[in-house]
Amino acid sequence: MKTLDLANLTIERAARALRDREVSPLELTDAYLDRIERLNPRVNAYLTVTAERARDDARRATAELAAGKVRGPLHGIPVAHKDLYETAGIRTTGGSKIHANHVPSADCTVARKLREAGTVLLGKLNTHEYAYGVTTNNPHYGPTRNPWDLERIPAGSSGGSGAAIAAGLATATTGSDTGGSIRMPASLCGVVGLKPTYGRVSKAGVLPLSYRFDHTGPITRTVMDAGLMFNAMAGYDPADPSSLRVPVEDVTAGIDTGIRGLRVGVPRGYFFDQLEDDVAAALEAAIAGLQRLGADIRDIEIPGVLEGVWGVFGFVHAEALEIHSQAIEHRLQDFGDDLRAILGSPGPDAATLMLGLRYCDALTVAMRTALEQVDVLITPTTPITAPRIGQDIVRCGDSEEPVLHAMIRCTAPFNATHLPALSVPCGFTPGGLPVGLQIAGRPFDEATVLRVGYAYEQATGWHLRTPVL
């Protein structure tokens, strides 16, 4: 174990150590459980640590690997799930008081697939209440803290998933993303988050925020790890009505073949407006870096982004009212302040909802048309770095705006349009806070998105930095 630095451990490195018998799954799991015990009280990434289940999983993996039965690249790898992911026999709170004692009888599809891939389940991760919100989580279980500065938020709603990776409390985690909730924590925590194309990864058994805009995906330390997790998570699931019955290729094949000649679109309008100075500087450096790697950088215009984001906001509100209608009627007082305020207000009317969908449709056409001219789009993941816990207003460029609005500004357009989008570390502010680069691509083309992220990551090495805890 001496040679394995948990604070910077990747699936790739762990798998090699397991294969070479440098460490056993049980030893690796115990090391994480020790680290969680030591650090989680400060970070508050885990709501539930499933130590017994983890050791059972690890013993099974140890025996299987010793017998030469290798399930694949995730065999023996310790993971943790956002606490929206239903897990058989393990409470799944959704970050709520209302589901505080909810113990599902079955795994959600992704938890089942990752179990079958041989992973070890360390526990369940903090989130905003029912994934609604991106600023300070959580009114019932306390805020998750950003490992780079414990007075700051990790963003949300998959804040526990992002913080757990940054703090070295799991090798890989899962998240969900309705307006950016995988990519925003990746950005603010200096790790990697992948929102796959809508319909690629099953949502069956994951507590919903919005059926139309929710996506499930991984949060990891590296781009290769995101690809390995995606490979295990993706695929048609009849139990998820939005799941698409399309083939899934191995997205790590060719991930290291570089980006020479690849057309990279930079949509400066909207996506590069009102950035924090350090974010703007990091992005310009990233663009120059991609160019040095051989990318063909092109300015590109995408109209109607703001309208599309507005459409997402309204529709998510209406869906939440329907999803929580029973609880709104009978247990409104059991919601936290933020959610109670949202769910206590009437949603948009039908005409407004339909108008919002048309805006999303128009943005989808604009984005897809742009992606006929370029292979990927790059933007900041978040226009800002981590705000302080409790901070509501942020200064962006020359104006102030609510943290919520600033935070989802660049990510939600890819929920509106269902396109795959990845956040990778893009350097640090002088104060040591991470910046995120977002790479988005064509429908079902996660492979190209990951290839760009991999090339950038390997060239910059930003993923090698870890917070001091």
Q: Give 56 or 361: the residue with its C-beta nearer to its own copies.
A: 361
Closest distance of CB 355 from its own copies, Å: 6
Q: CA 160 to CA 84: how far, in whole Å?
A: 11
Q: Which is nearer to its own copies, 332 or 354 (CB)?
A: 354
325 binds its own copies (CB under 8 A): yes
Contact (Cβ atoms closer than 8 angstroms) between residue 29 and residue 55: yes
Residues 439-458 contacting its own copies, CB under 8 A: 442-445
Measured from the CB atom, is 240 or 457 closer to its own copies? 240
Query: Are 46 and 169 contacting, i.e. CB atoms less than 8 angstroms apart?
Result: yes
Which region among 53-61, 315-323, 407-415, 460-468 touches its own copies (by CB under 8 A)? 315-323
Tell which positions 77-96 bind its own copies, by CB under 8 A.
Answer: none
Can you tell me whether residue 198 is helix, strand or coil? coil
Which of 31, 88, 285, 362 binds its own copies (CB under 8 A)? It is 362
Least distance (Å) from its own copies to the CB of residue 304? 12
Residue selected from 321, 342, 459, 469 as contacting its own copies according to rule CB under 8 A: 321
In DSSP notation, 202-262 reads --TTBPPS-TTT-EEEEEESSHHHHHHHHHHHBS--TTSTT--------TTTTTTS--TT-
Q: Is 376 in the site for its own copies (CB under 8 A)?
A: no
Nearer to its own copies, 223 or 318 (CB): 318
**Spatial distance between the Cα atoms of 102 and 91, rounded to a whole number of angstroms:** 5
The Cα–Cα gap between 324 and 327 comes to 5
Nearest to residue 81, comparing CAs of 140, 164, 146?
164
Residue 427: phi and psi, rounded to 5, are 95, -175
Binding mask 231-260 for its own copies (x = CB under 8 A): -----x-xxxxx-xxxx-------------
Could you tell me the smallest distance in angstroms from the CB atom of residue 191 to its own copies? 28
Which one of 26, 49, 295, 318 is in contact with its own copies (CB under 8 A)?
A: 318
Query: 67 or 350: whose CB is closer to its own copies?
Result: 350
Q: Given the residues 158, 161, 176, 181, select the one marked as catalytic.
A: 181
Q: Which of residues 201-220 bind its own copies (CB under 8 A)?
A: 211
Residue 157 annotated in active site? yes
Distance from C-alpha of 233 to C-alpha of 182, rounded to nearest angstrom: 15
Q: Which is nearer to its own copies, 111 or 371 (CB)?
A: 371
Q: How far is the CB of 198 from its own copies (least distance, A)?
A: 10
82 is catalytic: yes
215-220 and 172-177 beta bridge pairing: antiparallel
Residues 331-360 that bind its own copies (CB under 8 A): 347-351, 353-355, 357-358, 360
Piece of 71-79, 183-191, 262-270, 369-377 that binds its own copies (CB under 8 A): 369-377
Question: Which residue is catalytic, options 24, 157, 161, 176?
Answer: 157
Beta bridge partners of 421: 195, 440
Q: How far is the CB of 394 from its own copies (least distance, A)?
A: 31
Neighbours of 270 (CB within 10 A): 18
* Sequence-distant (≥ 6) Cβ neighbours of residue 218 within 8 angstroms: 172, 173, 174, 175, 182, 193, 194, 225, 226, 229, 230, 233
Window 254-293: contact mask with its own copies (x via CB under 8 A): ----------------------------------------
Shortest Å, Cβ 452 to its own copies: 18
Which stretch of DSSP H or E encloses residue 452? helix 446-460
In the complex, least distance from residue 141 CB atom to its own copies, rounded to whole angstroms: 28
Nearer residue to its own copies within complex by CB, 5 or 349:
349
d(CA 272, CA 383): 8
- Phi, psi (5° rounding) for residue 269? -60, 135
Between 43 and 370, name the residue whose CB sits nearer to its own copies. 370
The reply to whether 158 belongs to the active site is no
- CA atoms 23, 24, 27, 30: torsion sign: positive
Count of C-beta atoms within a 10 Å radius of residue 346: 8
DSSP helix/strand/coil, 190: coil
Least CB distance to its own copies at residue 246 (A)? 5
Q: Which of 63/106 has CB closer to its own copies?
A: 106
**Nearest residue to 163 via CA among 36, 4, 53:** 36
Write out the residues near its own copies by the rule CB under 8 A.
Answer: 211, 236, 238-242, 244-247, 318-319, 321-322, 325, 347-351, 353-355, 357-358, 360-362, 364-365, 368-369, 371-372, 442-445
Catalytically active residues, by annotation? 82, 157, 181
